[in-house]
Amino acid sequence: QKEVEQNSGPLSVPEGAIASLNCTYSDRVSQSFFWYRQYSGKSPELIMSIYSNGDKEDGRFTAQLNKASQYVSLLIRDSQPSDSATYLCAVISNTGGFKTIFGAGTRLFVKA
Amino acid sequence: DAGVIQSPRHEVTEMGQEVTLRCKPISGHDYLFWYRQTMMRGLELLIYFNNNVPIDDSGMPEDRFSAKMPNASFSTLKIQPSEPRDSAVYFCASSRTGGGQPQHFGDGTRLSIL
């Protein structure tokens, strides 16, 4: 079982719609969760971090965390073509040091 | 503030040659990470340092790979001898101390071994 799992996609949504990206993780004691955006040919860029159960909103982005279900998601409201990228879920596992485990990423296409 | 700085941005070399990748972390960050990214395997952690000390090198693929961090502002990843299967994008990232801090990535080095 992979430690951090994401649907590879591609996820295709029309412009203006809500894009929903999902991630599950296996280490129950994980405490820190991140979403990175990676454009083609570029490096990963941090867009959201979340540490507590519930929702965290930042502009058009909302991160949701449910530790009981070991599930973290990212919602992008009013999706724009410029949101088309690969979104990486990352989890810091507290076991064996503070190592960040990245998911394989979900490719998102926003159609104009 | 300057971000993580990597050099070179691109490297093309022939099989068997030594390759050295360089990284300058963000000032004040005491964790440094080296990753490799390919289409097939995604983003793989190779090694990470805390306060210049290697903490976990379990991701280093084989003895041909080595990494050093002689001081807080510089790290190298060396491949000797290089092989075509080492072709990938290599990222360096850094983060502040304290569990749970996000990492900040450099622009990466695109390495092609012919």
Averaged confidence pLDDT in chain B: 94
Chain B partners of A100 at a C-beta cutoff of 8 Å? 33, 45, 103
Alpha helices in chain A (DSSP H): none
pLDDT for res B1: 63
* Whether B114 contacts B15, CB under 8 Å: yes
- Mutation to test the B interface, candidates A87, A88, A98, most B Cβ within 10 Å: A98
Give the pLDDT score at A8.
84
Q: What is the DSSP string of B67-95?
A: EEEEETTEEEEEESS--GGG-EEEEEEEE
What would the DSSP string read from start to end of chain B? ----EEE-SEEEE-TT--EEEEEEPPTT--EEEEEEEETTTEEEEEEEEETTEEEE-TT--STTEEEEEEETTEEEEEESS--GGG-EEEEEEEE-SSTTPPPEE---EEEEE-
Average confidence (pLDDT) over B50-54: 93
Say whether residue B70 is in contact with chain A using an 8 A CB cutoff.
no
Beta pairing, strands A61-66 & A71-76: antiparallel
pLDDT tens across A43-63, in order?
Answer: 999 999 999 999 999 999 999
Residue of B nearest to A34 (CA): B102
Q: How confident is the model at residue A20, as a pLDDT?
A: 97
Instruction: Give yes or no for B102 touching A (CB within 8 A).
Output: yes
Q: Is the Cβ–Cβ distance between A112 and A81 less than 8 Å? A: yes
pLDDT at A97 over 80: no
Is the pLDDT reported for residue B103 higher than 60? yes
- Using pLDDT thresholds of 50, 70 and 90, give the confidence band for residue A1: low
* Confidence grade of residue B47 (pLDDT, cut at 50, 70, 90): very high
Contact criterion met (CB < 8 Å) for A98 and B42: no
Residues of chain A found within 8 Å of residue B31, distances taken between Cβ atoms: 98
Chain A closest-CA separation from residue B82 CA (Å): 23
pLDDT value at position B41? Answer: 87
Q: Which residue has the higher pLDDT, A2 or A33?
A: A33
pLDDT at A93: 75
CA distance B68 to B48: 10
